[in-house]
């Protein structure tokens, strides 16, 4: 399995990781911080789109409880404004996989391209289930919004 990319769940482990993504999304959409954090390892690293680094399941739960009770109450995870796409799942070992996927969220029922992200997760097989050991959320931006049309890496003259 090592090195294989699964664009759709083709194997039992890939299906289990896809199910883990589903549980994570369901917990977010229900505003359930405990269930959301339960999809992560006890010592998980979680990096938000604005660069805040949370360490551990407890920190993930506490921060998401505040979000779900406050500014993200009623928000829903989506595949982003570009539509749903299957996650890319690449097994590094039979018990470790990298997952790269598009994501987004709606707040107040409205989706916005400004909330579209690329999300990278590391899934690990624990004795009882697959969980995420790391999460990195990066907002998508266009080259034009950076003032650099057609030039990867930044603005002219910088």
Q: Which residue in the block uniquely carries the two structure tokens 């407890």?
A: 58
User: Rounded to two decimals, what is the model's pTM?
Assistant: 0.82
Among 1.10.3720.10, 3.10.450.50, 3.30.70.270, 3.40.50.720, name the CATH number for the domain at 5-139.
3.10.450.50
Domain boundaries, the chain: 5-139
How far is C-alpha 71 from the geometric centre of its chain's CA atoms? 19
What does the pLDDT look like over 96-127, one tens digit per residue?
Answer: 999 999 888 878 877 776 777 899 999 999 99
Residues 6+ apart with CB under 8 A from 23: 35, 39
What does the pLDDT look like over 120-132, one tens digit per residue?
Answer: 999 999 999 999 9
What CA–CA distance (Å, rounded) separates 63 from 54? Answer: 8
Give the pairing type, strands 130-139 and 40-47: parallel
């Amino acid at each position: 399995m090592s090195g294989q990319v699964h664009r759709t769940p083709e194997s039992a482990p890939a299906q289990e990781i896809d199910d883990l993504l589903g549980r994570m999304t369901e917990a977010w959409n229900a505003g359930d911080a405990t269930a959301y954090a339960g999809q992560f390892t006890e010592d998980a690293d979680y990096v938000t789109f604005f660069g805040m680094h949370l360490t551990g399941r407890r920190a993930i739960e506490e921060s998401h409880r505040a979000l779900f009770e406050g500014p993200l109450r009623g928000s829903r995870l989506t595949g982003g404004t570009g539509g749903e796409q299957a996650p890319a799942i690449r097994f590094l070992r039979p018990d470790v996989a990298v997952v790269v996927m598009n994501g987004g969220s709606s707040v107040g029922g409205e989706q916005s391209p400004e909330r579209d992200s690329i999300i990278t997760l590391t899934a690990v097989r624990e004795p009882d289930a697959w969980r995420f050991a790391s999460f990195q959320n990066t907002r998508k931006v266009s080259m034009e919004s950076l003032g650099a049309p057609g030039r990867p890496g930044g603005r002219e003259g910088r």
